[in-house]
Amino acid sequence: MTTLAARPIEVSAPHRPTTMRALIKHHAGTELQFVSNRPVPTPGPRDVLIRVKKVGICGTDRHIWEWDAWAAGRIPVGIVTGHEFVGTIEQVGSAVTNYKPGQRVSAEGHITAWKDYNSRTGNAHIASDTKIIGIDRDGCFAEYVCVPEENVWPVHASIPDKIAAVLDPLGNAVHTVMAANVSAKSVLVTGTGIIGLMSITVAKAAGASRIFATDLDPKRRALAKKLGATEAFDPRDDQWIADIRKHCRGEGVDVLLEMSGASTALTQGFEALRNGGTAALLGLFGKPVTFDINKLVIFKGCTVLGINGRKMFETWYQMEELLLSGRLELEDIVTHEFPLEQFKKAHETMISGEGIKVVMAVN
Ligand code: ZN
């Protein structure tokens, strides 16, 4: 039997450090820098300070890592990057009434002042004054992140951290699929990057009858089929468009979800779309594209939707319902996890294509 030694009295007062570990865009060039002395943000009266647990690395973070023309023109040097995360509320501002410390949360990263036309009419995701965390202001590749309480999303207890860390891109996929109204329709997904793959499992869960996909990478095509695609085509062989038409009453698919941001895929996708179909465009193009609007939009009589972000917060509720339904297959999409300190390896794993969705553990 052991002797119980007297223990020192534990003081329960919070002792949050004043500095934190973080990844910052330290110069107008490539990569990020790991620092351990970034000041912990101080929440304003209506802000929530969140202790970050896990973060997702996005395609946007790749642009920032590689410091391409878009990043150079948009990202302020010195900010903490990252916008996909799950964490626990550490502290709330004096005017916050909806949340309390200890709650597990994620957040909508698009921050608006709720003053412009779209914010006040149910379309805050396309507000003219949007500031995005990790892009326009400090983000979540850090031990703590601060957001307005309106942006906080409480995460359901049954959703694991690994998935809760990537609700931002999953929300992009859900918004695209729901906007295009895929139930009982044939769907073509051009480009099976992270959000393209997510949109396949979302479209299947949302009742799409058949899902076709295109991608240059045979591994991604195989995964697309595993996630529910009826058929996945190599877009370099033009024959696939005739094949899709043959499968779809000789006319083409009902819905196109453009996820590649490649001009060839854009044209091919619209060629495979039936007259009167709906196209939802999410993939971002590296430069302006040449596209036959007469033939592919006007004479087709199709509907074209530009998709940006996630609806606040309709998409988040839809996403939670889909996750709780158990019908989303995300295990094969979130492929790697590294500690924050291995950020270099984490980014390289994503950029090389070896990893699909790469997550970093912060706390
Ligand atoms: Zn993202």
Q: Of these residues, 2, 18, 30, 60, which one is catalytic?
A: 60
Which whole number is the average pLDDT over 147-162?
97
pLDDT digits 0-9 by tens, 30-79: 999 999 999 999 999 999 999 999 999 999 999 999 999 989 999 999 99
Assign 6 a pLDDT band (cuts: 50, 70, 90).
very low
Please report, rounded to a whole number, the percentage of residues in the chain having pLDDT higher than 90. Answer: 93
Rounded to the nearest angstrom, the distance between the alpha carbon of 13 and the centre of ligand 1 is: 36
Residue with tokens 């999409």: 333
Rounded to the nearest angstrom, the distance between the alpha carbon of 10 and the centre of ligand 1 is: 41
Rounded to the nearest angstrom, the distance between the alpha carbon of 162 and the centre of ligand 1 is: 14
Rounded to the nearest angstrom, the distance between the alpha carbon of 18 and the centre of ligand 1 is: 28
Residue 11: the pLDDT is 44
Rounded to the nearest angstrom, the distance between the alpha carbon of 7 and the centre of ligand 1 is: 47
Is residue 1 scored above 70 in pLDDT?
Answer: no
CB-neighbour burial class of residue 157 (10 A; exposed 0-12, middle 13-18, buried 19+) = exposed
Residue 2: the pLDDT is 45
pTM of the complete model: 0.94
Active site residue 130: no
Assign 14 a pLDDT band (cuts: 50, 70, 90).
low
Active site residue 18: no
Q: Closest Cα to residue 32, out of 70, 72, 64?
A: 64
Average pLDDT over the chain reads 95
- Going from the N-terminus, what domains does the chain have, and what CATH number goes with each? 19-166+330-361 (3.90.180.10), 173-306 (3.40.50.720)
User: Cα 72 to the chain's mean position, in Å?
Assistant: 21
Residue 138: the pLDDT is 98
Q: Of these residues, 15, 18, 63, 230, which one is catalytic?
A: 63
User: Do residues 201 and 330 touch, judged by C-beta distance below 8 A?
Assistant: yes
Rounded to the nearest angstrom, the distance between the alpha carbon of 255 and the centre of ligand 1 is: 24
